[in-house]
Structure 1
Amino acid sequence: MATFWGYLNVVTVEPVLFLFTMSLFMQYPATQLLVLQKVCLAKHNSTALCANLSEDTEEENEVQSVAAHWNLYMTVAINLPGALMSGIYGAISDRVSRRSIMALPSIGIILGSVSFLLQSHFIHAHVGYLLISALTIGVFGNVGASYIALMSYMCDITETSSRTKRLGIMESMTFIGGPIGMMSAGAILQHYGFEAVYLIIIALNSSIILYIMLRLEEPLKKQVIPEGISRNVSPNKITWVCRHVYDSLHRTLNVYFIKREGKKRRYLWLFQLLGILGIIAFAGELDLFILYTKHSPLSWSASTIGVYLSVRTLLKGAPLAVGLPVLFRYFSDRSVRFDLVLAMLGLVSIAASMILVAFSHTMFMMALVACIGCLSGYPGAIMGSIKSKLVQPTEFGALFACTVLIQTIFVAAGSLLFNNVYSATLYVWPGLSFIGIGAIYIVNLVIVIYLWFDMADVELNDKHRSVGDEEFNMKLLSETGDSEVEDVVL
């Protein structure tokens, strides 16, 4: 029993990511299908015709082309405000509170989902009203602010020797919550409609806020007030807030330009370049995959898309949740080069899977795509871990905020690029866009190979150890045997 509670005490932000990802993976396909439905109804005003759109190839292409452009507008409306606000929230989390920033995206999702629910009820209302929901979600930080808070919190409470493994396990929650969300969304959409999906999303994010309030402790032991700003709020509150926001943005934007020992600053730039290229490719895949599978000859239903994406995501999660702990247990060489080898495997996996998508016209070929791409979760967890070791612990929030700020801008760029490419090549070869996505991941692979050679002798900041971890380990040691501790403390 003591051992069970020991395992339970190790769990911190994982349920937050699990529930948030579940709601996100319910919202994203539901909203894309809502856009498609509204565009089709605006053009034809016939539910029966829209349900069988694949029977008329010309009409299908026209509706999908318009829907792709509206998906682009939605992406911009969510991500540009999200990028700006995340840049502010991240630096504030270094100074004030991780927990508060962690709860903000869920508040935004709740408000946005209420708006989506209304728009799905009034299905014939103009599709442009959906932008109100998107802007609401973006202002509260969306996935960017959540990423910053969760990554920073995990880096705060872990020692560097176990960070890659802990971050990998945490990120595996994405690949567990995601499939459940997608499968649920497909089934609920088919039987109960859009409104039921958004009601469940509201309930999930309400649970996240309660969990943060009741379960998580603030890892920051004290508040740090920016220089020149008194603890007592000045009479001119607007000036005080503006100075605080300016200071937060300055810290966020400066993190990649501070002089650092050795080649650490250059490595930060290279890892950021990897992130930019990766997010451009990911944005393209995210925007186009549902449209591609709805297009003939696949012509999948909403439930088929949900089941497929769920299985594919679960296959990505298993190597993170199970594979990383096993590898780190049995391989004593846990150097940065070992991590980079895992990143290479992941990039080969995802590049090959994206190229295969372009040639896939049957369920069997799409099943191969899911199997080949199963290691694609490795690069994200590994890059985040290595970057955190290139900066000081007091810079975690600013680091991940700057990462989100830059990459979120390029989400819009990726959507703009690939939605336009898809619309332009739809009549020639719908899969051509996925060849371009695969090519971007191959470029990332070349950069990682270069880093593998260049980082052979680099010394990372490996001395950070959380006081919370030490206290927990000592407590757990008194309840369990020595041999059990290594297994419990992941």
Structure 2
Amino acid sequence: MEPVKTIRHILTVEPVSFLFYTSMFLQNGGGQQFVFYKVCFLKYNQSDICWNLTLGQKMQQYQDMEDYSVSATSHWVILLNLPVTIPAIFTSICFGAWSDKYGRKPMMILPAFGFIVLSIFYLFEALNMEMPLEFLIIGNLIAGICGGFVAITFATFSYIADVTTKENRTVRMGILQSMTFSSSIVGLLTSGIIVENRQYGFIVLYCLVASCNVILIVYTQFWLPESIGPNKDAYFKSITKENNRGNTDEVTEFKCKVCCTDMWNPRNFKIVYQDVMKKRANFDRFMLFLLFMSLFILQIVLAGDSQIFALYAKDSIHLSPAETGYYTASKNAAMFVVAIVTLLIVRKLNLNEIRCCICGILIAVFGFLGVSLARSQDVLWAMLIFLSPVGVAVSIVRGAISKTVSPEEQGSVFAALSSLENLMVFVAVFIFNSLYPVAKGAPVFGGGYVYFYMAQLLLIPFILMMWVGDLMGFVVKDRLINDFIGDVVT
């Protein structure tokens, strides 16, 4: 049994993250095409023409159909994203404080259950093309109430913080962060291949989304050990004693009642706020603020890149949809490899993590500048070398945030962090989708001015992380001086 225990110690929430994000990228990758086909079919009832337009075939005689479908799809994508995203922000904050008392595993299972329900709604839509799209709003709302990817993000990162030491935490968080990059490659490429099958493509796609989440639930329930069992047991012991519950059945029933009611308790919002804003030793609270700001800017830039790249690549570099997909997959693969290799080297050689983060951000600044001026595929591909270290920076910042707070605050802090990151994605969508049409006429850069703007934004976390490094150095020196004075006095 020792080898099994060793594997369970090494292999923890990485498969959870990989499975959930793979299902999400499958959903997103094929979801827009599905909505495009549905709005076209429901409006014109021309299945063959709508299918050809969905696959990207240009037919001048049906330009009006394509224009309507593109416009309606944009409207529906926003409408379907709102009920799955906005509720997840608020429910995840409640779940974060709850998970610090009751455990991380339920917060991984619940979002997976929500996505299974969502995939069933999509499956019904795929089996009955006459069914209105409004039906999907209900499925998205259920997925959002269950926490969505916001809950999965805070639950998995909190779990890693629970089971690691400060020495190896950044590496483990880097590996966990890299699951997002690897799952995007699998999900986006797989969805593109599956959807090309007209008869069964969407049906197979949503069956696969549901299957990923079923496997996730089974893995979490039967393989993954709970990370905060002692705290949970102590808490239950105290509340059952306070409420005079002695019978075994009474205790079990009482535990379930407390778990369910406490999950949606508005008091959790106050707990999260207090955990994030509480006074800390030295400059820790201020450093936490700087780290939050750094991560938010990094996420705005990454979200902006994912939103705008397809348009920029088509307009300025003239990439085909297939070439755009290959480049995006290659970029994510490069981030995955560079993040893991770099963090392992940092751990092995005991290098300063904050300095490595600063170097990664600076290299990424040159990468985004290069993309802004790129007018050929060769230059664009060369910039992959400079863009990939941004994944290292994100992982190090997450690790630094986790090390700044106490173990019993991990769920609350990561829930607040994940929720605010989700808001930053909305900010990025608004900023860069509004800026790109205007920037296309800019001198020198043209549409690439958006990437020039991203490079400028990256200078903010570059400066903030230099500040964090100085504060950490000051704290270490102050502690050494105090230790020295204490030794002299004694």
Do both proteins adopt the same fold according to a TM-score greater than 0.5, normalized to the shorter chain?
Answer: yes
Correspondence for 1:201: 209
Of 316-325 and 243-252, more deviation after overlay is shown by 243-252
Q: Which residue of 128, 146, 149 corresponds with 2:155? A: 149
* Aligned partner of 2:341 among 319, 322, 340: 322
Counterpart Cα distance in 1 of 2:156 and 2:358? 25
Within a 5 Å distance, the mapping from 1:477-488 to structure 2 comes to none
Q: Distance in 2 between matches of 1:42 and 1:425?
A: 35
Please give the alpha-carbon distance, in whole angstroms, between the structure 2 residues aligned to 1:275 and 1:203: 32
Q: 1:450 to 1:9 in 2, by over 3 A?
A: closer
Instruction: State the alpha-carbon separation in 1 of the partners of residues 224 and 14 from structure 2.
Output: 11
- CA shift for structure 1 position 24: 2.0
Q: Deviations over 1:120-176 (max 9, x none)?
A: 445576555544343232211111111111111111111111111221122222233
2:219 corresponds to which residue?
Answer: 211
Equivalent position of 1:332 in the other structure: 350
The one-letter amino acid paired with 2:456 is A
Describe the SS at the equivalent of 1:216.
coil
TM-score by length of 1: 0.80
Identify the range of structure 1 (22-31 vs 56-65) with the bigger mean alpha-carbon deviation: 56-65
Q: Aligned to 1:144, what secondary structure does the other structure show?
A: helix
* Among 463, 467, 472, the residue aligned to 1:455: 472
Q: Alpha carbons of 1:124 and 1:341: their partners in 2 closer, same or farther (altered >3 Å)? A: farther
Conserved 8 A contact 1:154-1:167 = yes
Q: Distance in 2 between matches of 1:381 and 1:434?
A: 22
Which fold has the larger relative contact order, with Cα–Cα distance below 8 Å and residues 6 or more apart in sequence?
A: 1
> Is 1:254 equivalent to 2:274 in the alignment?
yes
Q: Relative to 1, partners in 2 of residues 1:144 and 1:264: Cα closer, same or farther, differing over 3 Å?
A: same
SS at structure 2 position matched to 1:160: coil
1:415-442 CA-partner distances (Å, limit 9, x unpaired) = 2333333455578855444433333223
Amino acid at match of 1:314: A
Task: Say whether residues 1:383 and 2:397 are aligned partners.
Answer: yes
CA distance in 1, matches of 2:7, 2:120: 37
> Which residues in structure 2 correspond to 1:124-163 (within 5 Å)?
129-163=135-169
Query: By how many angstroms is 1:325 displaced?
Result: 1.4
Per-residue Cα deviation, 1:73-130 (whole angstroms, up to 9, x for no partner): 4443322111101101111110002111111111111111222233344557655554
2:485 paired residue number: none
**Partner of residue 11, structure 2:** 11
The residue type equivalent to 2:434 in the other structure is N
Q: Counterpart amino acid of 2:176?
A: M
CA distance in 1: counterparts of 2:449 and 2:68, whole angstroms: 18
What amino acid is the match of 1:184? T
Structure 1 residues 52 and 247 mapped into 2: Cα distance closer, same or farther (>3 Å)?
closer
Structure 2: gaps spanning 5 or more residues: 246-252, 480-490
Cα distance in 2 for residues equivalent to 1:33 and 1:437: 28
CA contact (8 A) 2:55 2:196 kept: no
State the alpha-carbon separation in 2 of the partners of residues 33 and 21 from structure 1. 19
Cα distance change on mapping 1:309 and 1:437 into 2, 3 Å: same
Cα distance, 1:111–1:203 mapped onto 2, change above 3 Å: same
Match of 1:187 among 175, 184, 193: 193
2:425 counterpart residue number: 411
Instruction: For 1:209, give the aligned amino acid.
Output: I
Aligned residue identity for 1:156: D
Letter matched to residue 193 of structure 1: G
Q: Which residue identity is paired with 2:468?
A: L
Q: Specify which of 440, 455, 466 is matched with residue 438 of structure 1.
A: 455
**Contact map agreement 1:74 1:134 (CA 8 A) in 2:** yes
1:399 is matched with 413
Q: 1:438 to 1:193 in 2, by over 3 A?
A: farther
Deviations 1:283-342 (A, max 9, x none): 3333334455566863533x554443322211111122233112311x234xxxx21122
- Range that drifts further, 3-12 or 197-206: 3-12
Cα offset, 1:248, TM superposition? 1.7
d(CA) in 2 for partners of 1:111 and 1:286? Answer: 27
The residue that corresponds to 1:116 in the other structure is 122
Identity of aligned residues (%): 23
Partner of 1:481: none
C-alpha distance in 2 between matches for 1:349 and 1:66: 40
- Greater Cα shift, 374-383 or 61-70: 61-70
CA drift of 1:260 comes to 1.0
C-alpha distance in 1 between matches for 2:417 and 2:354: 19
SS at match of 2:90: helix
Greater mean alpha carbon deviation, residues 405-414 or residues 266-275: 405-414
Match of 1:26 in 2: 26
Whether the 8 Å CA contact 2:276–2:412 is kept in 1: the answer is: no
Partner of 1:173: 179
The structure-2 alpha-carbon separation of the partners of 1:91 and 1:276, relative to structure 1 and needing over 3 Å to count, comes to: same
Among residues 89, 92, 95, which one is paired with 2:98 in the alignment?
92
Residue ranges of structure 1 left out of the alignment (5+ in a row)? 463-490
The answer for the alignment partner of 2:82 in structure 1 is 76
Counterpart residue type for residue 404 of structure 2: L
Q: How many residues align?
A: 453
SS at match of 1:217: coil
Give the C-alpha shift of residue 401 in structure 1.
Answer: 0.9
Classify 1:327/1:30 alpha carbon distance in 2 versus 1 (closer, same or farther; 3 Å). same
Q: Deviations over 1:252-301 (max 9, x none)?
A: 12222111111111111111112222333333333334455566863533
